[in-house]
Amino acid sequence: MDKIKQKIQELRDLINQHNHYYYDLDKNIISDIEYDELLIELVRLENNYPQFKDENSPTNRVGGGLSEKFDSESHVYPMYSLDNTYSSEELEAWYNRVVKNIGITDFEFCCELKYDGASVNLLYDEGKLVRGLTRGDGSNGDNITKNLKTISSIPIKLKESFKKNKFEIRGEIIIHLDSFAQLNKKRKDNGEQPFMNPRNTASGSIKMLDSNEVARRPLECFLYSIVSDDIAIEDHSELLNVAREMGFNVPNYERVVNSIQGVKEYIKYWEINRKTLPFEIDGVVIKINKIDYQNQLGFTSKFPRWAISYKYKAENLATRLKSISFNVGRTGAITPVANLEPVLISGSTVKRASLHSYDQMLKLKLRVNDFVLVEKGGEIIPKITGIDEERRGSSEDEIIFPEICPECNSKLEKLESEANYFCTNYIDCRPQAIGRIQHFVSRKAMNIDGLGDETIRLFYDLGFLRDIADIYNLNYDEISKIEGYGEKSAKNLKKGIEESKLNSFQKVLFGIGIRYVGESASKKIIKHVDSIDKLAHMDIESLSSIDEIGDKTAKSIVDFFSDINNIQIINKLKSFGLNFYQKDNDNHSAKLNGKIFVISGVFESHSRDEIKNIIELNGGKVSSSVSKKTNYLVAGNNIGPSKLNTANELGVSIINEVNLIDLIS
């Protein structure tokens, strides 16, 4: 059973990591099919071993997480993802489930293109754009209204005759292929690095902090769905026409068909003709057209049962391998990246492709001048999937994995349980040291303003920073003399650093960067361990008894505290006044044990993350949707009406943030 539990946790960690890459960093490091296979395996294990189920599992979450750069707010209606299918057999299985649930075979489908962009949700009230959010986790999204208002195809005010009450409209931010080519030409002319593909460029653009820069990007918004209680329309296809009449940009590619054979013909047509489109798609979306049937079919925790996406397989082409570079990550992992003869795949030129790990490189036995098969399915660094055996380089030119770190020349090690080699120079290897500092100052950790990634690299190279403890011993007089800085910048930086000393033990624990101890694990640990000193003296067995802490994480914690360098850094941080124990005023208790909360709305005295932390620190659990198991709905301003209605129907107690504090005081 311990092995099953460990496998489930490893899958959750891996899927969460890929979600972070895709939604937060705008990059894919595995294909959609590989990602779905991981998710299917996790669903299978969780169903077979229900004792290991967790409401925070990625199988219960929609999309990725929330960005550290923006305030998050609740969607009025949950923003679900779509279940994926890759074959006619899977499509037939979905169709048969629909027929079984609605009890008839005579119904229409609305087939649409699946735009390859970044999902957004726009809220309109009395004809005016009120707010624009990213998909986020499906319940909450990042507020990027200011950026979205710079996109000309998003109406700020609707036509007078089509004003409605409050409704949400969903869409994708995309960049046309011609506009993307022009954008990259300008960047090349200015000596800047060209962007890799339209999807990631669009996603990264809408999450920029400078809306003036967003306005300079050639972004478009394609809308595809309205959600409201106030619009009485019978068919989804009619809803699209209403959206067009209101002034929204709804591309006219949908087709209504009355059979599954018609759906297959639509899929086949666009698989052949998608290259004629002026923008990228990665498949089609099939929806039951009649809205009454949609309501009858309802939703799972993640997907609508009345819609599914059919994904096209990624384009796979051969090109010549020139060399392999070896990159060092924050944890010391060495990642091989192939340098290729440029090849045009899916509308963009590919020059590099990821090999992900030593194990994959060993399996392929790559040589210089090999012709390798490269797959690019929206990936920022495409992937090598195989070799053309008839076009191989010389056997003498087989590329050998290095024995020393390419950054610091330290010896590399490979653990039996890992797919990668690691640099052993934990302290002085530049990418590792810089990565640890960047993690420590991030919003979900110490949240220190003024220490961005580039500033950290500059301070490291100038010798101001060598480890996270150096942050609290900076020479602000010297900093004020750096070009581009000044007394005001140095003063603001000092203020942010001093304020970070007030952060809780949980944020400090997460920030110090123990491998495998993420935000969730750090919260679990402090429910059982109230000081860093107690944690440092725990063994693997006692650590593994903590919920969600497997043997792998437990061993990592023990290894961390057995390193004298880590102990010295923690002692320095203690001397600077950081919190390494759970204080009484940290609202840490067991008063909410067994209670399930749902959070909705905007709060006056606390952020949503703070509300969530208060609940979890006191033993409660936070769920994304109201159900019979929900004990309390914590309601703020602009609460989602669907959550409020469900809570009233089920008799769930509705409280505000003051009531919540009363529960634990």
Residue 49 gets the label, from left (phi > 0), alpha (psi -120 to 50) or beta, of beta
User: Who contacts 55 (Cβ-Cβ below 8 Å, separation ≥6)?
Assistant: 621, 623
Q: Is 153 exposed, middle or buried (0-12, 13-18, 19+ CB in 10 A)?
A: middle
Task: Dig out the tokens for 348 from the structure.
Answer: 């963009």
Give how far Cα 508 sits from Cα of 83, 89, 210, 447, 544, Å.
38, 50, 30, 10, 21
Residue reference for tokens 């998608």: 274
Write down the catalytic residue from 3, 5, 114, 414: 114
Residue 183 phi, psi dihedral angles, 5° rounding: -60, -45
Amino acid present at 585: N
Neighbours of 437 (CB within 10 A): 25
Neighbours of 593 (CB within 10 A): 11
HSE (side-chain half, CA atoms, 13 Å) at 190: 9
Neighbours of 544 (CB within 10 A): 19
CA dihedral (302, 624, 64, 589) positive or negative: negative
Sheet strands (E) in 191-297: 220-227, 255-257, 281-288
Annotation marks residue 114 as catalytic: yes
What does the DSSP assignment read for 587-607?
A: ---STTTT-EEEEESB-SSS-
CA dihedral (166, 172, 176, 179) positive or negative: positive
HSE (side-chain half, CA atoms, 13 Å) at 496: 19
Distance from C-alpha of 514 to C-alpha of 552, rounded to nearest angstrom: 12
3-state secondary structure of 288: strand
Are 255 and 263 in contact by the 8 Å Cβ rule? The answer is no
Closest alpha carbon to 478 in 457, 498, 495, 463:
463
Distance from C-alpha of 580 to C-alpha of 586, rounded to nearest angstrom: 12
Helix (H) or strand (E) holding 133: strand 128-134
Task: Dig out the tokens for 251 from the structure.
Answer: 């591309």
Distance from C-alpha of 643 to C-alpha of 624, rounded to nearest angstrom: 10
Residues carrying an active site annotation: 114
